[in-house]
Chains A and B, each alone.
Chain A
Amino acid sequence: MQNSMKVAKWELKRNLKNKTFVIGLFITPAIFILFFFLGSLFSDSDDDTDNAENMTVYVNEDIGFFEEIESINTEQDFGWDLQTTDTPQSEITEVDEPYTAYLFINEQSLQENRIATYTSEKADPLFPGQLQTLSVPLQVMKAEAAGLSQQEINQLMEPISFVEGTIQGEGEPPSNIEESSLFDLENPLETLIPGIFAGIIMLSITFTGMAIFQSASQEKKDKIAEIILSSLTPSELMQGKILGYFMLGLIQVAVFIAILLPFAIWQTDIPILENLFVPRTIFFVVIALLSYLMFASIFVGVGATMSDVSSAGNLQGLVMMLPFLQFVIIGPVISNPDGVVAAVGTYIPFTAPLTLLIRLTLLDSWPWIEIIISVAVIMLSIYIFMKLAGKIFKVGILLYGKNATPKEIWKWIRM
């Protein structure tokens, strides 16, 4: 282990002194921030156009509702230019002036539950939605007119929700349903933020892990493997590389988060820190680390079969693509975290970590049996791939000047 640490430290030092790595370290979060600014720049410009064209709303009413509309307009920041009008409904056939609307509210329309509205062809797309906010105060007004008490009105106005049939204990107060729905409302952030955090770690260390590929084949390209192996064993060298690039990946994550987290806290209202330091973050991060170990062992083994990264054969090229296999099924998993694709993806070693992470982030109740099987699949895969990588690495690292054929690799594995 001491020798592996020496190799790990060396890989760490070598890369941290490498200009390309250092530039890459800072450029990725910088690109994220740049895209964020570009995005907000465009959305700002859209807002500007919208704001420039506020709706002018002419209201013809005789039930004393105008003040209510004015206060809603101010509270909700609709930006309407409110005007009262005496123009009768019969005179309006169409509205020629853009961004203009007419509302006709009277006793009769209130009784019929139909408010006549005339809107210009060119109008704020949000306007119909904004109009809907007027419905509740209008209903309240109607109920008051019908002589209902405030309590009766409150009861009447409360929305009816459909709750999945869970059998309540006899003595349990019904308020539990309310608590559970409150918990569900907070739930998305509580799982989403640890999920995103672990996702960043997983992707970052997996991609840094891909550098192991190059590092293993460089031992051969630079013909230094035999000199190094005169001081340590092949498995120590292999473990050292896996460990070294793992630490590099963590440094990358640290830099990434150190730059992006304050930025995200500053720019968004999401309570990131409160939701980040929760127990499930640890579990998610463990999945990310297991994912790294699996891909790193594959990369280090196959890297040792290549004399040069640029001359990778079909087999090696395919292996390089393995981490991307996860992204193929990311769409179906997100759209249906309980679906067949998601369930199958949970059991395939190469797709299991990311699929598991997405499912646990999106699902309200965790399928514990599937989780346990999936983690077991990942851990078993790590064990098998590490063993195979060790065998391939031991022979492959000394095979200078040529790429190993699949037949040769198979022979080494059987040795």
Chain B
Amino acid sequence: MNTLLTVANLRKSFKDKEALKGISFEVYRGEIMAILGPNGAGKSTTIRNIMGIMYPDSGEIHFHQQTGKGIPKSKIGYLPEERGLYKDVKVMDILLYLADLKDYPLDKAKERIFMYLKKFDLEGKENTSVEELSKGMSQKVQFIGSILHEPELLILDEPFSGLDPVSQEVFKEEIASLAANGTAILLSSHQMNLVEQMCDRLFMIQHGQKVIYGTLDDVKKQYANFKCVLHGENPPALLEKIPEVDRIEYNGSRSILHLPKGIIPHHWLKQLPDELDVQELHINRISLHEIFIDIATDKHLVSPEGGS
């Protein structure tokens, strides 16, 4: 793996509160790495420390594409969570200014602006004032601003927030395409379904420390038990007879049976009683969304393999 960014033992405190308690991770070239966690977990603080907008109390941030110290700002694209654009300027002007700040050649930037405006359905808007754009259009212009200079590392803090599903899809495709072309992408998001669809690896953070770190498949294998969703009129007494079930959620004719670690689904299915009313039945692993909710609410209903 070609590592682009290494974060090692990052610590940061505000007043008496320790926001980051020594987190470490890496971002590789050509991958989409998600940094996840509930509000206040320390995602944006981590990102701001990487970008040099804040300074860590201790720990190391190392950009492998640069030999000396410091942040290779012109090689990084950044879309912060709290973002906007100057209101009283034209789309072309602000994008060229952002490209200029990244030392990107302006003639090349101009070409790419036209290309991206077309791609994001904003063709002909280059001379429109930013204040005349809708929120979604403005978000697209901000996104273009962060990728215009062909960054090697793209950091996106909540890139999908405030976007309609169509725009979400456009962003998702572009992010995937950038990763396919070798850009390392570090993104934070609350849209677990999108993260699940796009990311290669994830780093989940809670109370400023690592909870989960690994590839999406590994994380699912490690953390996500199987669950069986059963549609049918089945009395609780009957369901409770089913062996190897940790917990049952009753919801009228729909019941969710949480299975313990290490279960082999097709073996378990053979143990179902004959009198069971089965209208529909799904067996799948617990989703990233459920893992996230579980961690965010500190229920600890799921735990790494070996635990219960």
Contact = CB atoms under 8 A, between A and B. Distances in A.
Contacts of B76: 230
Given A3-B101, A6-B101, A10-B97, A227 B51 contact: no
Interface stretch (B25-33, B84-92, B281-289, B294-302): B84-92
A222 B89 CA distance: 12
Contacts of A153: none
A232 interface: yes
Q: Which of A10, A13, A17 has the most chain B CB atoms inside 10 A of its CB?
A: A10
Contact of A231 (B48, B93, B101): B101
- Contact-size category for A: 20 to 34
Name the residue among B51, B82, B145 with the largest chain A CB count within 10 angstroms: B82
Nearest to B80: A226
A18 interface: yes
A229 interface: yes
Contacts of B89: 14, 17
Contact of A227 (B78, B87, B93): B78
Interface string A190-234: 000000000000000000000000000010001110111111110
Interface in B181-207: none
A400 interface: yes
B17 interface: no
Contacts of A398: 53
Contacts of B267: none
B146 to A, nearest CB: 8
A286 B80 CA distance: 42
Nearest to B51: A230
A169 B82 CA distance: 78
Interface in A1-41: 3, 6, 10, 13-14, 17-18
Interface in B127-170: 142, 145-146
A227 B149 CA distance: 14
A227 B74 CA distance: 12
B14 to A, nearest CB: 12
B24 to A, nearest CB: 23
Nearest to B101: A231
A230 B85 CA distance: 14
Contact of A232 (B83, B88, B101): B101
Given A3-B101, A227-B142, A232 B86 contact: no
A224 B101 contact: no
A403 to B, nearest CB: 17
A231 B53 contact: no
A226 to B, nearest CB: 4
A226 B101 contact: no
B100 interface: yes
Nearest to B131: A222
B73 A226 contact: no
Contacts of A6: 97, 100-101
A31 B102 CA distance: 43
A18 B86 CA distance: 13
Nearest to B88: A18
A45 to B, nearest CB: 45
B75 to A, nearest CB: 11
Nearest to A234: B53
Given A227-B78, A232-B101, A14 B83 contact: no
Most-contacted residue by chain A among B48, B53, B146 (CB, 10 A)? B53
B82 A231 contact: no
Contacts of B142: 227
A226 B102 CA distance: 14
Nearest to B84: A223
Interface in B80-132: 80, 82-89, 93, 97-98, 100-102
Contact of B73 (A13, A18, A231, A400): A231
Nearest to A10: B97
Given A3-B101, A222-B87, A230 B82 contact: no
A223 B51 contact: no
A231 B86 contact: no
B130 to A, nearest CB: 9
A189 to B, nearest CB: 44
A227 B48 CA distance: 11
A224 B84 contact: yes
A248 to B, nearest CB: 15
Nearest to A400: B82
A218 B86 CA distance: 8
Contacts of A10: 97, 100
A18 B93 CA distance: 13
A222 B80 contact: no
A227 B83 contact: yes
Contact of B98 (A218, A223, A229, A231): A231
A6 B99 CA distance: 11
Given A3-B101, A398-B53, A227 B86 contact: no
B83 A229 contact: no
Contacts of B88: 14, 18
A231 B73 CA distance: 5
A222 B102 contact: no
A228 B84 CA distance: 10
A394 to B, nearest CB: 10
Given A3-B101, A6-B100, A230 B78 contact: yes
A226 B76 CA distance: 13
Contacts of A226: 48, 53, 78, 80, 82-83
Given A3-B101, A6-B101, A229 B85 contact: no
Given A229-B53, A230-B53, A398-B53, A223 B101 contact: no
Contacts of A13: 93
A222 B53 CA distance: 18
Given A14-B93, A231-B73, A231-B101, 19 more contacts: A6-B97, A6-B100, A6-B101, A10-B100, A14-B88, A222-B84, A222-B86, A226-B53, A226-B83, A227-B79, A227-B83, A227-B142, A227-B146, A229-B51, A230-B73, A230-B80, A231-B74, A231-B98, A233-B52
In the complex, the 8 A-B pairs of residues with the closest C-beta atoms, listed nearest first: A223-B84, A231-B101, A230-B78, A226-B80, A222-B84, A10-B97, A223-B82, A224-B84
20 contacts: A10-B97, A10-B100, A14-B86, A14-B88, A18-B88, A222-B84, A223-B83, A224-B83, A224-B85, A226-B53, A226-B78, A226-B82, A227-B79, A227-B80, A227-B83, A227-B142, A227-B145, A230-B53, A231-B73, A231-B101
